Structure 1
Amino acid sequence: MKPKNESLARRMFELLEPICLVTFFAEECNEELAALGHPTYWDGYFASRAAPLGRVPAQVVHAAFYNFAEGEAARHIPSAWEKIPPEASVAARERGSAASLRRILGDDLADSPGLTRAADLTTKAATSQSTAGRMMYAGMRTRTVPSDPIARLWHSATMLREHRGDGHIAALVGAGIGGTEAHVISALAMGIYPAESFGRIHHLPKKRLAAVMAGLRERGLIDTDGRFTDAGRETQQRIEALTDELAAPPYDALSPTELAELIAELEPITATLVAAGSQ
């Protein structure tokens, strides 16, 4: 019998997220993108993650990514693609991420039948959904699924990550939470205080951050000290619950037996990645 959809979606997020995080935390992806000619981490990040969308303008990337401050996407798009084709950037991201996984997992686990089975089942779930209303997921679905099991596992986990992310953005929009506001709420939920010290927003101009905090106070989501009010915490929990609910449908493509098998095969993979910090 399958777990309740929301709890299942949360469990699968916990199992798959460390696979995706090698892209951002491990060195191989950065090295591949730098070798192409991307001068900074963020040039490579924006170019390779946005590449499945095609050569869209910065405004579209800003809308699709949602949680970056105004103007951040425009510092990298479209200039990141002027000398390096999007296709080359996304291919480098895949190569580097797969290389990171192989190094961290070691040959015994990387070449195991269990990893291949996990890749196959993750792909079955990841390719089962409509792309309607899910921009980043739709972009990933245009990419060819790799034949190599490690690359396939990373690719399909990333498809599911973008599927979940699209749903999370829908939940944020429905709650009237902007991108920078979402970082404040995430920081407080993680116990980071003051929220303005969070790494994703601490670099923003103080005047801009102060305006964001003031807006959250006016709506009764944070108090005068910059901490959650009851309404703020309830809003954060409601957004996360809806995100889980919207992320659950891909796993309906798996039978209860397949789902149990996928979880069992992913557990040692995830444990190894978590122990290494996905880097």
Structure 2
Amino acid sequence: MSNVARQLKELFVPIHEVVYMADEPNDELQALGYEGYWPLYFASRSAPLGKVPAEVVDALFYNFTPGEAAACIPSVWEVASPEEVLAARERGCVKALRRILGELADSPVIARAAELATRAAYNAPAEGRGLYAGLKSLPVPAEPLAQLWHAATLLREHRGDGHNIALVAAGIDGQQAHVLLALYLGMKPREFGRLDPLSDEQLEAVVAGLRERGLVDADDQFTPAGKKLRDEIEELTDRLAAPAYSCLEQHEIDELLTDLGPVLEKINADRPF
């Protein structure tokens, strides 16, 4: 079932990520009064949690540098309420998907995929998954396209919460996780955008910590131990995500993989990078 979790991740994550990759969600959130990307990001992603302190958001998001969450939370709630933000985010994502998918947006394929994805999304265990639990408390949208995006978001955040569990178990903090991902992508740590907030000295300290553990070598490349640990983290992430899909029969999994293929192609073609 862990292999299934990885296969379906490739379908559901791009559907969720229109919230970050398309213009329409940003437009809807900016219409509420948000200026700049990060305030609307922190508002929209943390809105299912309600008005929790920055410390809670920082802990659950896991990989932001100190002070990034506090720069936006709680001030974002002076602009709009969590409920208004959630409604704007969903409107924008549905608009984006309608533009990207065209006639496919109202097809029986979307309605069936929404049914299966929602079943899996609400079958996942919530223990230890704060962002997922917040999303799970929200009403399920009635419109199939909105329901599919909502289910994909639940499954993405459930997997993300599990990934953070795997990172914690491996003793890898948020900034170290960015470094490991950069190396996996063939990049130097300074080339990885999410590490931009760190000064050169701070980044060197992060990398030095990985070197001390024997995970990164003097040339800022994976050691065998580093590659092995990263693979183990990804494998545990898959295992932790897998229970969501235990409610689906093999033919239903095959149906999702087949029917969402054209959806995935259209979404990926629309991505800005």
Q: TM-score, normalised by structure 2?
A: 0.97
CA distance in 2, matches of 1:80, 1:236: 35
The 4+ residue runs of structure 1 with deviation greater than 4 A are: none
CA distance in 1, matches of 2:70, 2:30: 20
More divergent stretch after superposition (85-94 vs 174-183):
85-94
Give the 3-state SS of the residue equivalent to 2:17 in structure 1: helix
CA distance in 1, matches of 2:155, 2:60: 15
CA distance in 2, matches of 1:130, 1:231: 31
The 5 A counterparts of 1:5-154 are 5-106=1-102, 108-154=103-149
Deviation at 1:278, TM superposition (A): 7.0
Structure 2 CA distance for partners of 1:201 and 1:236, relative to 1, 3 Å: same
Give the 3-state SS of the residue equivalent to 2:125 in structure 1: coil
CA RMSD of aligned residues (A): 1.1
Asked if structure 2 preserves the Cα contact closer than 8 Å seen for 1:21 and 1:278, the reply is no
Deviation at 1:97, TM superposition (A): 0.8
Asked if structure 2 preserves the Cα contact closer than 8 Å seen for 1:117 and 1:265, the reply is no
Q: What are the Cα deviations for residues 7-52 of structure 1, in whole angstroms up to 9, with x where unaligned?
A: 1111000111111111001100111111101111110010111011
Match of residue 208 from structure 2: 214
Structure 2 CA distance for partners of 1:136 and 1:64, relative to 1, 3 Å: same
Asked if structure 2 preserves the Cα contact closer than 8 Å seen for 1:22 and 1:101, the reply is yes
> What is the one-letter code of the residue matched to 2:29?
L
Overall identity of the aligned pairs, in %: 53
Q: 1:187 aligns with which of 172, 182, 190?
A: 182
Match of residue 150 from structure 2: 155
Match of residue 244 from structure 1: 238
Number of residues of Structure 1 aligned to a counterpart in Structure 2: 273
> What is the one-letter code of the residue matched to 2:151?
S
More divergent stretch after superposition (174-183 vs 83-92):
83-92
Q: What are the Cα deviations for residues 81-124 of structure 1, in whole angstroms up to 9, with x where unaligned?
A: 12311111121111111111110011x21010011100111001
> What is the one-letter code of the residue matched to 1:186?
L
CA distance in 2, matches of 1:125, 1:93: 22
